[in-house]
Structure 1
Amino acid sequence: MASLHDRLLVIDGLIFHSDGDPRWLREGNISAVNLTIRSPIDDFEQTFDAFAAWRRRTADPASGWHLVLTGADIDAAKAAGKVGLIMGWQDTKMLGDRAERLECFHRLGLRVVQLTYNEACPVGDGCLETRNAGLSNFGYEVVAELNRLGIAIDLSHCGEQVCLDAAAATKVPILLTHANAKAVTARVRNKSDAAIRAVANTGGLVGASIHGFMNWDGNPANPPTLDLFLRHLRHIVDLVGIDHVSFGTDMAALASESAADSILQMSFSRYGGATADYIRAFGNTLAKRYPDELNNPRLMHRKTDALLAAGYSESDVEKIMGRNLRRVLGEIWGAGAA
């Protein structure tokens, strides 16, 4: 008899990079991912090329990928034994000051947009900006346009006030695809209880993450573990309920770990204030950014096992691992303009 994990619909709310090889994901029974198709520091031409490359890849029946434009495409990817590609961004720099560009990107397949990365942009402030300014006037325009088009809004790297402003402004559910609870571990990327509640109050989801940057307690003798992740998850579930929880690993899906080296170095050199202490403690390799028990997508069954061992029911595990995200993404995408 197949294990529970083998039967699940598994959707990872954030994969930060892929070289196009889906094997790690398929080995982990992951049916769809919100994939960051371009680096937050890529220019306009690189962004356009990323769309072109991924659309060509998903058009190849032998690629192992299925392009996701609707909720039904996630179901189709699982049925075909492929990985559903949800094309996403982790910033809005490519808009410049023109929200109307979003419709063009939507037609290319863009389905999830994080409003800011770590720093400020025309939309508002990221989580590393000490001033904590909220949405700009342009930011409100972007939120409205994302709602109109049915593109999911992600707040994971946004500053506190941007999270609160966007949650108050949105007309559809909103997401934290990969962020944990600041009340459990006061890391810069984690979110306050107020921000978590604000997201849930939109009908949205909080994607708890196994990433070490968000789980580590600051003690070099205590590397990140699945137990630390479960503490964050329990806090979020207790705060907003099981129907408002998903997960985002913030992992990479690659043929070789070395394919992510340039991005790892960028995060260290450009955002040292958020990463340097962790990297000094554990090194700057892909595997060490995650718990040793689950440092590769192919090991995803271990998270399912850990949830069951922690006392979550099979129904709760189904929701956390993908059913909640499938439901909410369907609501968001279905609300958009045809």
Structure 2
Amino acid sequence: MTAAELQEKALVIDGLSYHSDGYTGDLRTGGVNALNVTIGHFEADFVESCEQIAGWLAYMSAPDSEWAPIRQAADLAAAKDAGKIGLIMGWQNMRPVADDLDRIYLFHQLGVRVMQPTYNYRNFMGDGNLETEDAGLSILGRDAVRVLNELGIAIDISHVGDHTARDILELSTQPVLATHVDARALTPLPRNKDDDILRAVADSGGVIGVSVYGPMLWNGDRNRRPGIDDFIGHLEYITELVGIEHMGFGTDIPVSNDLRRTAQIALNRRLWSGISDYGDCFGHDIPARYAEGANNHAKLPNITAALLERGWAEADITAYLGANFAKVFGEVWGG
């Protein structure tokens, strides 16, 4: 079976895209069926988040919309069967909740299905990975984990600090996700996760989405940008550590046909703070931020082809492409 045939057969789910303006061209070329899209920017407040969600709900309700909202696991296959791209509304920062946990109930009703308690920095919930003193979850954050579990909102720990991650993994009664991370053992950045946390995600029943984000794959060679082999190195390392049943991918790639504007949004929002000096070597434009050969969704079949060439079993590739995420979403969301 070719890479294209395997992707056509599989349910392909990107664990994280940090931005979308509704463009679907690259997604269709790359065979992506659904993705967790960050709704609003990383420092969005309550009003901004409501505005972004309202815009997406209106956009998806149009008769000719290419997008379908994902609220329960059954919606994933239904969107694919209907020829639409499934939108999983997610957050990378619970700042819109502030100190009012009742707002989690509201956003669940509006369709948000993945929440990350913190981004890179401290908020009401806990500490992000760039805080020099990671104090873990706050009392409010601990209560938030309980509410998220109760409602069936998946918890993402990709950007949270190590202490905060361990607190979440200890408290959560539902599987925990790391939607877009790589192995700190291979690339020692605070944004990557250490082996103990990766194992704990797997022990929770969760899924680890390996990312093509260049800085998290980079070995420091200023003359060579990371490529597909570097990505697969992280994928195979973590797979060996936790098992294929806990593996997925989360590109962290924006979905847009206006990448210059998207890059400016990212820079304005401090998206790339704390990520080494990678940008000084390879530039800050969007394509340069990701692994060569896999720096947009249209090129994702290149990874599938490389896995086939390495002798990966088709069933394992299908699991990594999205079956594992779909299974865990079913456990957390229902349906």
> Shorter-chain TM-score: which interval?
over 0.9
Aligned to 2:324: 324
* Match for residue 193 of structure 1 among 184, 192, 195: 195
Decide whether aligned partners of structure 1 residues 270 and 52 sit closer, same or farther in structure 2, where only a CA change above 3 A counts: closer
Tell me, what secondary structure is at the counterpart of 1:311? coil
299-308 or 134-143: bigger deviation: 299-308
Gap regions ≥5 residues in structure 2? none
| Alignment partners' CA distance in 2, 1:29 and 1:4 | 10
In 2, distance between residues paired with 1:275 and 1:89? 20
The whole-number CA distance in structure 2 between the counterparts of 1:21 and 1:62 is 13
What is the alpha-carbon root mean square deviation over aligned residues?
1.4
Letter of the 1:52 counterpart: A
Aligned partner of 2:160 in structure 1 is 158
- Cα distance in structure 1, aligned partners of 2:272 and 2:326: 32
Query: For residue 314 of structure 2, what is the aligned residue in structure 1?
Result: 314
Is 1:51 aligned to 2:49, yes or no? no
Which stretches in structure 1 are left out of the alignment for 5+ residues? none
Report if the CA contact (8 A) 2:187-2:216 is conserved: yes
Residue of structure 1 aligned with 2:235, choices 218, 233, 236:
233
Alignment of 1:210-249 (within 5 A): 210-249=212-251
Cross-structure match for 2:303:
303
Structure 1 contact 12–249 (Cα < 8 Å) conserved: yes
* Structure 2 SS opposite 1:104: helix
Q: What amino acid is the match of 2:198?
A: I
Q: AA paired with 1:312?
A: W
Contact 1:116–1:158 (8 Å) recurs in 2 = yes
Q: Deviations over 1:136-185 (max 9, x none)?
A: 11111000000000000000001001111101100110100000110111
Q: Within 5 A, what are the aligned runs for 1:108-187?
A: 108-187=110-189
Give the distance between the partners of 1:127 and 1:212, measured in 2 at CA. Answer: 18
Contact 1:12 1:30 in 2 (8 A): yes
Cα contact 1:264–1:285 (8 A) shared by 2: no
| 1:10-57 deviation per Cα after TM superposition (whole angstroms, max 9, x unaligned) | 000001101111221122111100000110122322111101000011
* AA in 2 matched with 1:66: A
Aligned equivalents of 2:299 and 2:162: distance in 1? 33
Return the alpha-carbon distance in structure 2 between the equivalents of residues 163 and 101 of structure 1: 22
Q: Distance in 1 between matches of 2:66 and 2:272?
A: 34
For 1:248, give the aligned amino acid: G
Give TM-score, length-normalised by structure 2: 0.96
Q: What is the CA-CA distance between 1:308 and the residue it aligns to?
A: 1.4
Aligned-pair CA distance for 1:276: 5.2
Whether the aligned pair in 1 keeps the contact of 2:231 and 2:291 (CA below 8 Å) is no
Partner amino acid for 2:197? Answer: A
Change (3 A) 1:271 1:258: closer
Aligned equivalents of 2:266, 2:103: Cα separation in 1: 29
Q: Aligned equivalents of 1:8 and 1:259: distance in 2?
A: 32
Secondary structure in 1 matching 2:150: helix
Q: Tell me the secondary structure at the aligned position of residue 114 of structure 2.
A: strand
Moved >3 Å (runs of 4+): 269-272
2:11 aligns with: 9
- Using the TM superposition, give the Cα deviation of residue 188 of structure 1 relative to its aligned residue in structure 2, in angstroms: 2.1
Aligned to 1:38: 40
Shift of 1:261: 2.2
Aligned ranges 1:92-111 → 2 under 5 Å? 92-111=94-113
Q: Secondary structure at the match of 1:88?
A: strand
State the identity as a percent: 42
Provide, for residues 230-277 of structure 1, a one-character-per-residue CA deviation record: whole Å limited to 9, x for no partner: 11111111111010111100001112212312233135x5753x2350
Distance 1:271 1:260 in 2: 13
SS in 2 for 1:168: helix
SS at match of 2:225: coil
Q: Distance in 1 between matches of 2:5 and 2:272?
A: 40
Task: Establish whether residue 29 from structure 1 lines up as the match of residue 31 from structure 2.
Answer: yes
Q: Is the 8 A contact 2:36 2:87 kept in 1?
A: yes
